[in-house]
Structure 1
Amino acid sequence: MPRTTLAAAAALTLAGVAACGGNGGGTTGAGGGTALYERLPDAVKDAGVIRFAGDSHPPYRIVANDGKTVTGIDKELQDALAKVLGVRGEISIVNGLPAALSGMLASRYDAFNGPVKDTAEREKQFDAIVWMVSRTSYLVPKATSSAVKDSGDLCGKRIAGTAGSVVEEQAKRLSDWCTKQGRPALTFIGLADTNGTILAAKSGRADAAGMTESAAIDAMSKEKDAFTYVTQSDEQGAGIDQLAMLVPKSGGLGPVMLEAFKEIFKNGEYQRIVDKYGLQNVAVDEPKLNTAAAQ
């Protein structure tokens, strides 16, 4: 929806917030009721909403059958950020990472929360606020898991993963490791979202589904007897990837969003979400901006 069509409604909404004395969890100020509100780009203030793009990616974004209602880590994180910014958060479901990136560049969305890797190439067009790290895991159907005891056993296998995601890059590193060991390379099957990768593994189209460890644990919790998983090692090129929220540089929202992240670290909302969803192993001590360019 164009920003201009939202401006009048936003003005009424913000006036209501001010009248009720709500401060959104931040320091009281003009307009949206928080100190950070005044630093927001005018387009965001006029609309009164931060528009997030998001694909289906449990447990980060759990999309209901109506295709619109979203729960999970991202919903809670985005609501916490919107609160300290003094605006409303809104998630639009898109078909994978390419649609999220192109939509942001076309000004349809203000931000995308991934999990997506912070890279120097992406930082040419987007500000990247790093708020967690990750290692890639591979979800393996238990019916065939006897042949996959560790990630090295994935050599020569078909791996489904979200196209353009950090998993695709990780799978390539694992494949390179396989060939250096004199073993067959793996085949990567790029799909639109995590649900699609899990279905590919269940149906036999793929031998395993690559995803973040948090997503693998979530999938296993929903189908306890269906899967096991293995995690890629440092030797196989895993390392620890910096995962970020991406915000188009052209809009000027990135530095303000960094400050919003700092606020939810300070007020305890970040830690609450980390604890609720068991993200302790991938949490960071503080958010950072554009880490890839600094390396």
Structure 2
Amino acid sequence: MELPRITVAAVAALTLAGVAACGGNSGGTAGAAGGTALYDRLPEAIKEAGVIRFAGDSHPPYRIVGNDGKTVTGIDKELQDALGKVLGVRTEISIVNGLPAALSGMLASRYDAFNGPVKDTAEREKQFDAIVWMVSRTSYLIPKSGSAAVASSGDLCGKRVAGTAGSIVEDQAKRLSEWCATQGKPALTFIGLADTNGTILAAKSGRADAAGMTESAAIDAMAKEKDAFTYVTQTDEQGAGIDRLAMLVPKSGGLGPVMLEAFKEIFDNGEYRRIVDKYGLQKVAVDKPAMNTAATP
């Protein structure tokens, strides 16, 4: 996932510089405020600002950060454009260094939302409204040059799998290991790393047999390095499709319920389906958005 992208250190430096210079604005969407059915329901602070400020880390194909450290393209940008249009306000993305920075930034009122997509949990729902718009389906990128024979996700039992530490992929890898045990096979060994770039490098270098990530990220990596990889996808039987992924919005700001209505609108007007189809997210799409589902069986 090298193109286009910058290093984590560079992203952090550029983010700090942007915050000092202009409030951290990047990836903005132009448009006049007002003029939609949902605009009047927005919190006053949002209407006064005329913009919804999203935090976002570099995470292709959700957020593809240009070489300038500011220009953002990808799924997240298109989704936020669609939401901003029905809400009647601009949207902008500020690049931050990972989930902790996004969460703390929202709680400090620097940002209004973070689209992750991040797992909806009961613990997070104590401070954030979580609008679920997709589920998780983990895929494992396999270097064609590697020695591991992996034709299906079941072949990963006993193999070394790199993934982002603390991510939903780590949870799914644990479920896959549990499935391996039921089959009388050895558990996989999970190698926790800082980001997706690191997981791909680990697989390419032979440190790991596979790199775990979302299916859309695996497809993106394959497109950027043609003929370098294959991938396999975890099945429902192996624990996939269970985790609900959400956009997080601080409860204190009051934006969550209005954002849920905006999601419903882009489901109804076809924008959600357009984005799903464009980026190949059909297998992780949901029939309708929902909010704060962690307590829902």
Instruction: Answer yes or no: is 1:167 the counterpart of 2:169.
Output: yes
Q: Indicate which of 44, 47, 57 corresponds to 1:45.
A: 47
Give, in angstroms, the shift of residue 78 of structure 1: 0.4
Q: Which residue of 1 aligns with 2:245?
A: 243
Q: What is the distance in 2 between the residues matched to 1:93 and 1:189?
A: 26
Give, in angstroms, the shift of residue 153 of structure 1: 2.4
Render the CA deviation track for 1:47-95: whole Å, top value 9, x for unaligned: 2211111122211111112222110111000011111111111111222
Aligned 1:64-213 pairs, distance under 5 A: 64-144=66-146, 146-213=148-215
Q: Indicate which of 258, 276, 284 corresponds to 1:256.
A: 258
Q: What is the distance in 2 between the residues matched to 1:67 and 1:164?
A: 25
Q: What is the distance in 1 between the residues matched to 2:100 and 2:129?
A: 17
Q: What is the distance in 2 between the residues matched to 1:290 and 1:98?
A: 20
Give, in angstroms, the shift of residue 179 of structure 1: 4.2
User: Do the aligned partners of 1:96 and 1:163 also contact (CA within 8 Å) in 2?
Assistant: no
CA gap of 1:94–1:160, structure 2 versus 1, over 3 A, is: farther
Instruction: Answer yes or no: is 1:279 the counterpart of 2:278.
Output: no
Q: What is the distance in 1 between the residues matched to 2:93 and 2:198?
A: 20
Give secondary structure in 1 for the equivalent of 2:146. helix
Q: Which residue of 2 aligns with 1:223?
A: 225
Letter in 2 for 1:219: A
TM-score by length of 2: 0.83
User: Do the aligned partners of 1:56 and 1:194 also contact (CA within 8 Å) in 2?
Assistant: no
Q: What is the distance in 2 between the residues matched to 1:205 and 1:65?
A: 28
Q: Which residue of 1 aligns with 2:236?
A: 234
Runs of 4+ in 1 over 4 A off after TM superposition: 179-182
Which range moved further: 184-193 or 249-258? 184-193
User: Do the aligned partners of 2:162 and 2:191 also contact (CA within 8 Å) in 1?
Assistant: yes
Which range moved further: 69-78 or 82-91? 82-91
Letter in 2 for 1:281: K
User: Do the aligned partners of 2:146 and 2:204 also contact (CA within 8 Å) in 1?
Assistant: no
Which range moved further: 285-294 or 187-196? 187-196
Gaps of 5+ in 1: 7-13, 18-30
Give, in angstroms, the shift of residue 159 of structure 1: 1.9
Q: What is the distance in 2 between the residues matched to 1:64 and 1:246?
A: 24
TM-score by length of 1: 0.84
CA gap of 1:281–1:232, structure 2 versus 1, over 3 A, is: closer
Instruction: Answer yes or no: is 1:54 the counterpart of 2:56.
Output: yes
Letter in 1 for 2:135: V
Q: Which residue of 2 aligns with 1:293?
A: 295
Identity across matched positions, percent: 86
Letter in 2 for 1:38: D
Aligned residue pairs total 273
Pick the structure with greater CA Rg: 1
Letter in 2 for 1:90: E
User: Do the aligned partners of 2:241 and 2:284 also contact (CA within 8 Å) in 1?
Assistant: no
Which range moved further: 185-194 or 272-281? 185-194
Q: Which residue of 2 aligns with 1:10?
A: none
Give, in angstroms, the shift of residue 180 of structure 1: 4.7
Give secondary structure in 2 for the equivalent of 1:278. coil
Q: What is the distance in 2 between the residues matched to 1:100 and 1:249?
A: 15
Give, in angstroms, the shift of residue 201 of structure 1: 1.9
Letter in 1 for 2:114: F
Q: Indicate which of 22, 29, 37 corresponds to 1:35.
A: 37
User: Do the aligned partners of 2:136 and 2:240 also contact (CA within 8 Å) in 1?
Assistant: no
CA gap of 1:200–1:48, structure 2 versus 1, over 3 A, is: farther
CA gap of 1:38–1:249, structure 2 versus 1, over 3 A, is: same
Give, in angstroms, the shift of residue 167 of structure 1: 0.8
Higher share of residues assigned helix: 1
Give, in angstroms, the shift of residue 127 of structure 1: 0.9
